[in-house]
Amino acid sequence: MKGVELREMTLEELRVREEDLTEELARSRIHLSIKRLDNPLKVRVTRRELARVKTIIREKTAAGDTGTEERV
């Protein structure tokens, strides 16, 4: 997911996405350790997307965004 798309999401949606990516990263690392992961680059891609989400969450909270507003 691109940074522009992530910035359009609300703070609550970003936190849900962060949880999903954290779980996906854990599963991917387990599969990688037992050699059952088809694409080992998936770990890197997931880790970077998680970092993007965390950065945008930090930016929004620093800007005072509460995440309760609805998108238009």
Low-confidence stretches of the chain (pLDDT beneath 50): 72
pLDDT value of position 8: 93
pLDDT value of position 72: 46
H helices present in 1-72, as ranges: 3-7, 11-33, 41-62
Instruction: Kindly list the domain boundaries of the chain, sorted by start residue.
Output: 3-62
- 3-62, what's its fold? Helix Hairpins (1.10.287)
Q: Which tokens hold the place of 53?
A: 């989400």
**What residues contact residue 9 under an 8 Å CB cut-off, 6+ apart?**
17, 71
Residue where the block lists tokens 């350790």: 33
**What residues contact residue 1 under an 8 Å CB cut-off, 6+ apart?**
17, 49, 52
